Chains A and B, each alone.
Chain A
Amino acid sequence: MAVIPILGLFALSLRGPARLSAGLSILMEPDGTGVWRDLFAEFEKNHPDIRVRLVEGPPATNTREDMYSTSFLSGAAGYDIVYCDVIWVPKFAAAGWLLDLTSRLSPADRQDLLPVDLRAGSYRGRLYQVPAFTDAGVLYYRKDLVPRPPETFDELERMAREFKTSERWGFLWQGKQYEGLVTVYLEVLWGFGGEWIDSETGKVFLDRPEALHALEFLKRTIGSISPPAVTTYIEEDTRNLFQNGRAVFLRNWPYVWTLMKETPLGAEGRVGMAPVVHAPGRESAATLGGWGFAISRFTRDPEAAWQLVNFLTGPEQLRKVQLRMGRVPSRKSLVPPEFVPVLEAARMRPPIPEYAQASDILQRWLSAALTESATPLRALNEAARETRLLLGEARQ
């Protein structure tokens, strides 16, 4: 007998909720400042027939990524709008879960949005995510100590050694086993002229000498110019140390610049910002990050969904978020001038659908080498082998 109510529920769920008016739902980070709620209220006022339902998910981005995947795998219209990290775009697009927005974007927007962000929001030449905010690795330095920012790895090491004291470390970076470690390593790798994966051919370059130089550089900093606990740090740990005057150099993201202005160190103009360092004869390359909005293929109302995406990525709206959250908008007209050189040198992580897995392999082996459970040479050889297996296996 117990089956009957359960089957009844089952049938009800198949039918889905009645369609009264267009309702759009979106999963985001906790809306701490309330800026998103304000924007949705404004949108609802302009579009009385559309209701927006904000689901505040956990702050951990990979958990939200999994929540989106679960909803997509079930094929139901769980979320209409995807608040999307650039590294999810290839995966979700390759799975066929996002609507192609190429023809919807207006020429004016295409002109104003940063080209590198538009590329990151695309997969195989089609646009799936409209960029909203951009991110790129930056080197912060103590202007009052260092006469000019370093340009090469050697300069950075030398200056860090020179200005570090018993109270102050030389160089802070993110060394915990997570995505942040990959972004840091990639900047060093690119700075040495190396490569990780060629997204076109699926070739893996982790067992080349440049990759080894890069890993050895990071490993050498631990205990010498970087604190031993750097292998457990994420962005906020390093920001707090730096802003309390406990380091000469800090590798972090643009949000630190906004927050730094409110600290004594920043207010007194003792902090400067520069592109990340590189090897002599090579170029500085920052890892590109960023967020934007995409539309689920399972949405019942693509028109209304596009209205909302178009609204949220508009200049006025992005400006509001910029003022309240310190994020850097993906629009040329809104990027603060000091970030322009950094963003021009920003590079994408390989846009492959298997990104999450490839990144996990790299994280695991980098962390193993940095915490001395494998030699850098062995770690990179193993990472290269496993990545080849992954890409070869997946692409047959």
Chain B
Amino acid sequence: MKRKSAALWFLPALVLLSIVVLYPVIRTLALSFFHDSLATGFRAEFAGLANFRRLVFDSRFHSSLLTTTFFTVVSVAVEFLFGLLLALSVDALHGWRSLVRTIFLVPWTLPTAIIAVLWSWIFNDQYGVLNAVLMRMGLVESPVTWLAAPSTAMFAIIAADVWKSFPFVFIILLAGLQNIPQDLYEAIQIDGGGRWASFRYVTWPHLLPFVFVALIFRLVQAFAVFDLVWVMTGGGPGGATETVSIYTYQTYMRYLDLGYGSAMAVTPVAILALLGIALYRLVQMKYEELF
């Protein structure tokens, strides 16, 4: 009886998920094996692996993949470092903890497109606050056109992403830290372990599952970055900040190459899935080794 009603309660969510998630995913996957574009008059013609073969030789896809990987690795690494340091220091706090936590969480709650507009203004060459500060400090002589040069544009996007997303890592790791039983620290103190030893043998192993969750979420989100780049640079200058999702959007919406665009959408998912599994295995192995 209880089981039946549970299933019934689950039904609306299942129907909704099927409509908005399952159907598009299956359709995109299916479409990636077809030619369906302007040239075919939007009739799907079976293509086998032709779309994926085309991806292998598409230099623009390669460079967008590299750009996305660079963005993901750098911004997630910095976010992780900031998040961990902040979580450790807030965990050591005795009062004010919830206030500090709330303040740091604000950037995470803002919509990305709005954050992108905000940071484009910070990095604006004529009116931006960053140039104003740098010039007043005498660090630069003339305004830097942050978003107009390939390397500085990428830096600007990473800075915005770090600002938005490190609170997420922070909050997850903080939850992990607060879960660690205090008696373990006492035990290691009795054994004569210092600060490093308690981090190495108590904090880190207990935190590892939380690290895994935070990293997986951030890696997947960063790899799929669209809105931040779209609003701040549109993928420019000279395609230097074009990520896979931007190229996919262009292919699908602008070039109207639905089959190829679908293949382009499916491929990163496969890459991410493999990456996720690898990371999971790694953590699992480490975990067994630690205990």
Contact = CB atoms under 8 A, between A and B. Distances in A.
Interface stretch (B21-29, B181-189, B231-239): B231-239
B41 to A, nearest CB: 7
Contacts of A368: 238
Interface in B208-258: 236-239, 250, 253-257
A246 interface: no
Interface string A380-396: 00100010010001111
A96 B236 contact: no
B38 interface: yes
B237 to A, nearest CB: 7
Contacts of A177: 236-239
B239 A364 contact: yes
Interface residues of B, number: 24
Nearest to B11: A3
A95 B256 contact: yes
Interface of B: 12, 15-16, 37-39, 41-42, 54, 57, 59-60, 145, 148, 236-239, 250, 253-257
A353 B148 contact: no
Contacts of A382: 59
Interface in A30-89: 62, 65-66, 69-70, 73
Interface stretch (A256-264, A312-320, A354-362): A354-362
B231 to A, nearest CB: 12
Contacts of B37: 394
A3 B255 contact: no
Contact of B254 (A3, A6, A356, A386): A356
A323 B231 CA distance: 35
Interface string A329-367: 000000000000000000000000110110010001001
A95 B253 CA distance: 13
A91 B257 CA distance: 12
B148 A357 contact: no
A356 B15 CA distance: 39
Interface size class of A (residues with CB under 8 A): 20 to 34
Interface of A: 1-3, 6, 62, 65-66, 69-70, 73, 91, 94-96, 176-177, 232, 353-354, 356-357, 360, 364, 367-368, 371, 373, 382, 386, 389, 393-396
Given A2-B12, A177-B236, A393-B54, A66 B254 contact: yes
Nearest to B251: A357
Nearest to A3: B12
Given A177-B238, A232-B148, A69 B254 contact: yes
Nearest to B45: A396
13 contacts: A2-B12, A91-B38, A95-B41, A96-B41, A177-B236, A177-B238, A232-B145, A232-B237, A354-B38, A357-B254, A357-B255, A360-B250, A389-B54
